Each structure stands twice: as C-alpha cells, then as structure tokens.
Amino acid sequence: GESVGLHLPTLSVQEGDNSIINCAYSNSASDYFIWYKQESGKGPQFIIDIRSNMDKRQGQRVTVLLNKTVKHLSLQIAATQPGDSAVYICAENRRGNFNTFYFGSGTKLNVKP
C-alpha cells in the first residue's frame, strides 16, 4: 500500500502475472478517485478513475476497486508487462478547502522479465 516517507513501497512481479496495488484514503467524504502512472522523468499519466457511487470499474487490462466501508482503493493490472514498471499514485478528491485532489506518495511497480 501507499505511505508517506522517503522510501516508496515496492511491488515486484513477474512478467505475465497480475499485479494488485493498494491505497488507503482518509476522507469518507471523498467522492472521486484517480489512479495515475508516473514513469521516471515524466509527469503522472491518467490510468483510470472511479466515482464513489461505484465499487468497480474496468479499463483495458486495468480494474479499479473501491471499498468505501474501509476507505480502500486498489488497482489491478492483468498480465503485467515490462512497460508497466512505474510508480502508481492514487488521488482522492476530498471536496475540502481546496476543492482539488490529494495524492498518495505512490507504489513502485517493478516487473521482472
């Protein structure tokens, strides 16, 4: 899962396996969530999003699951490929003071060939 600190949690998987990256969010009022992929030297790229009125959403090879009861979000990547190696960041729109997103520190996914 994600945490704040100098060292990112790392998930190592074999090419072809499925990957599951977890994220705990803090505000039960958050109603919109996004997963981003950040490759080295680049800005975060949108992967998939989900609103709080849903508990699952599927994209191409990716699925996001939302469990509002325990405030948990996960990203599943099917048949992980070397090109999936990156830092994955979850973001929640807390609808708070700044009406914008709060970002986790990310999980580093390392895909072994």
Partner 1 sequence: DADVTQTPRNRITKTGKRIMLECSQTKGHDRMYWYRQDPGLGLRLIYYSFDVKDINKGEISDGYSVSRQAQAKFSLSLESAIPNQTALYFCATGQELTDTQYFGPGTRLTVL
- What are the residues binding partner 1 (CB under 8 A)? 4-8, 32, 34, 36, 41-46, 49, 89, 91, 93, 98, 100-106
Can you tell me the distance from the alpha carbon of 44 to that of 38, in angstroms, rounded to the nearest whole number?
Answer: 4
| Shortest distance in whole angstroms from residue 76 CB to partner 1 | 20
CB of 93 to partner 1, least distance (A): 6
Looking at the Cβ atoms of 78 and 102, the one nearer to partner 1 is 102
d(CA 51, CA 59): 14
Residue whose CB is less far from partner 1, 2 or 80: 2
Euclidean distance between CA atoms 18 and 83, whole angstroms = 14
Spatial contact of 64 and 48, defined as CB atoms under 8 Å apart: yes
**For the chain, how long is the longest CA-to-CA vector?**
44
Q: How far apart are CA 74 and CA 56, in angstroms?
A: 10
* Per-residue DSSP letter, 83: G
* Shortest Å, Cβ 16 to partner 1: 29
Our CB check for partner 1 shows the closer of 95 and 112 to be 95
Give 77 or 87: the residue with its C-beta nearer to partner 1.
87
CB of 54 to partner 1, least distance (A): 14
